[in-house]
Structure 1
Amino acid sequence: MDNRVSGVRDGIDSRAAVQRRLEEIVRENRFTIAVIFPFVGAVTLVASAEGLLPPALEYNPLLILFGTAVMRSPLIVGLLPRIGWWALGYLGVLTAYTYVIEVVGVRTDWPYGAFEYTIQLGPMLFGEVPLALPLFFIPLVLNAYLLTLLVLGRWSERILVRVPVAIVAVVAIDLVLDPAAVAIGFWAFVPPGVYYGVPVSNYVGWVISGTVAVVLVDLAFDREAVLERVRDCEFVLDDLVSFVLLWGTINLLYGNWVAAAVAGAFCLGLFRTDRYDLEMVRTALPG
């Protein structure tokens, strides 16, 4: 029995040590992760779309996946202490749902409208949707949900408030993402829609998929525990900062002014969390 207890304690200590080291790495590289990576990504993607890069670098899937994983790291590392078996189960269901709804969307044009991937974002499942799709989609939902908890304050205690607001935030994220993605040629809608090439049906689809995703995330986590973690972990929303800088910049460069304004609204939401200011930038700068 003593050996078992000792083994459990050693395992807990090892996990805590790994967690501390991961947090140190993120803190030491916050500016690089949250600012440099998205700006380099925006320039690289626009240059790919405009044919300014050599073929080996143009839309390079390894670079896209690596850059995405790095920008997601603050969110993943920040939430790790709150991801137990219960949360893993619901996130696993969400992962499966993400693949299913995307495959259905590509094959049937429902619920997003007729669209197709025009470049390969890494290995493709069934040759139709990116294998890394959960890495692209689920963090967007988590960012929207966590920002909602922080901005709403005490109102987040009410499920009939936080869930609808989080769904709106998820759809708003896509108001930024899809126009920029269409502009740089990630995917295309046929025929093009009225919102910078994106049809209204796409956002009806995002309301559907976003509702399911937000409900699963809300079930996955103990709200009080995850909110305490988010308040204590200063970098957990840095992935949303990266998102705003990357896709907001691309929208600005292509003149997608409404989409850029929505990105600006997310900036205001981030400022309301009282963790992003000039002092934070100063402390996050290398050296």
Structure 2
Amino acid sequence: MDSRLLGLGEDGDARATIQHRLEAVIRENRFTIAVVFPFVGAVTLVASAEGLLPQPLAYNPLLILFGTLVMRSPLVVGLLPRIGPWALACFGVLTAYTYAIETVGVRTDWPYGAFEYTIQLGPMLFGEVPLALPLFFIPLVVNAYLLTLLILGDSSDHLLVRIPTAIAAVVAVDLVLDPAAVAIGFWEFVPPGIYYGVPVSNYVGWVLSGTVAVVLVDLAFDRRRLIDRVRECEFVLDDLVSFVLLWGTINVLYGNWLAAAVAGLFCLGLFRTDRYDVDMVYTAIPGNWQSQPTETSTDTDASGRDEH
């Protein structure tokens, strides 16, 4: 059999080289990506909401998209070796679903309740939903799913444990996100709900959308190989760290204490993975990352997915 069909040979070597370089960039800039960017983002967004930034800096969509892309980069680079044709197909379906459910939500007020975007988060599809919506939503689902796998350990082998827990984690993500987003004026619910302006119907909608998203993410990967990759790639959950710092800080600044407490629970979950501690902070600081030995795997699945 031609070695290229197995992901080896020149094509496999080139992909391994690119993967190695991308991982080196992430490791060298972990502190900047996971800590500096969300802190600057929180300050900038709050300043925009409070009218402290001049145009065109206030709510600048290019800055928002750029910052989001940078903070997503550890997750994307970390999972690249496990992304094949099957995973791409699953994420393609999830992307289409994300646009569809959001468009339905904006037009019909179902399933999230009546809401509207009050600023443009980059180009708007049909003038209604952000074109970059999958960039905002899908990584949140993947982060919640990966954290669930690590915390559950062997219990994640059970479908009826894994899927409901991951869905609950996705809804918890929105318990942090939506109050902060409403506070800084990303969108608003009409009328405002009881949870820092967010109605209960929004979370009923997130149970629905989260269930579909979690099932598709679960189908996208061979779970054993995915867990092995997540365990060996020390930075793959840094995007979740960025999320907690960014939206947790905004909730604290606006006194959304319950939402901030949920962000704190995610911190505890990250600590339970045994990868975020004082030593990690030291090695994440620029210039110190090479002192931490790492083992990375850049093998790829020729079919895009192994059998479960």
**C-alpha deviation, 1:3, in angstroms:** 11
Q: Which residue of 1 aligns with 2:293?
A: none
Superimposed CA distance per residue, residues 77-109 of structure 1 (whole angstroms, 9 cap, x where no aligned partner): 000000000111101000000000000000000
- The answer (yes or no) to whether the contact 2:106–2:128 under 8 Å persists in 1 is yes
* Alignment match, 2:275: 275
Map 1:20-35 to 2 at 5 A.
Answer: 20-35=20-35
Q: Which letter maps to 1:62? A: L
Q: 2:4·2:11 contact (CA, 8 Å) conserved in 1?
A: no
1:6 CA drift (Å): 12
* Inter-CA distance 235–2: structure 2 relative to 1 (3 Å threshold): closer
- Report the Cα distance in structure 2 between the residues aligned to 1:129 and 1:9, rounded to whole angstroms: 43
The TM-score with structure 1 as length reference comes to 0.98
Cα deviations across residues 129-186 of structure 1 (Å, max 9, x unaligned)?
0000000000000000000000000100001001000000000000000000000000
Does the C-alpha gap of structure 1 residues 194 and 2 become closer, same or farther in structure 2, counting only changes over 3 Å?
closer
Kindly indicate whether residue 226 of structure 2 is the aligned counterpart of residue 226 of structure 1. yes
Q: 1:8 to 1:153 in 2, by over 3 A?
A: closer
Superposition TM-score, scaled by structure 2 size: 0.91
AA partner of residue 249 (structure 1): T
- The residue that corresponds to 1:107 in the other structure is 107
Alignment partners' CA distance in 1, 2:217 and 2:50: 38
Match of 2:168 in 1: 168
Match of residue 57 from structure 2: 57
Which 5+ residue runs of structure 1 have no aligned equivalent?
none
1:154 corresponds to which residue?
154
CA distance in structure 2 between the aligned counterparts of 1:261 and 1:177, rounded to whole angstroms: 12
Q: 1:238 to 1:9 in 2, by over 3 A?
A: same
Deviation, 1:286, is 1.5
**Which secondary structure state, in structure 2, belongs to the residue aligned with residue 217 of structure 1?**
helix
Distance verdict in 2 for CA 1:124–1:5, change over 3 Å: closer
1:259 maps to a residue whose letter is A
Partners of 1:183 and 1:58 lie apart in 2 by 15
CA distance in 2, matches of 1:235, 1:6: 27
Aligned residues: 287
Structure-2 residue corresponding to 1:243: 243
Structure 2: gaps (5+ residues): 288-308
CA contact (8 A) 2:33 2:71 kept: yes
Cα separation, 1, equivalents of 2:133 and 2:30: 25
CA shift for structure 1 position 34: 0.1
Within-5 A mapping of 1:207-222: 207-222=207-222
Q: Hey, what's the Cα distance between the residues in 1 that align with 2:208 and 2:277?
A: 35
AA of the residue aligned to 1:119: I
Evaluate the alpha carbon distance shift between residue 2 and residue 192 of structure 1 in structure 2; reply closer, same or farther with a 3 A threshold. closer
Aligned AA (2:11)? G
Task: Please report the RMSD computed on the Cα atoms of aligned residues, expressed in angstroms.
Answer: 1.5
Q: State the distance in 1 between where 2:284 and 2:136 align.
A: 25
Match in the other structure for 2:124: 124
Change (3 A) 1:157 1:55: same
SS of 1:197 mapped into structure 2: coil
Paired letter, 1:102? E
Match of 2:252 in 1: 252
Higher helix share: 1
Flag as ranges the 4+ runs of structure 1 deviating above 3 A.
1-8
Q: Relative to structure 1, is the Cα distance of residues 98 and 276 closer, same or farther in structure 2, using a 3 angstrom cutoff?
A: same
Deviation at 1:227, TM superposition (A): 0.3
Shift of 1:9: 1.2
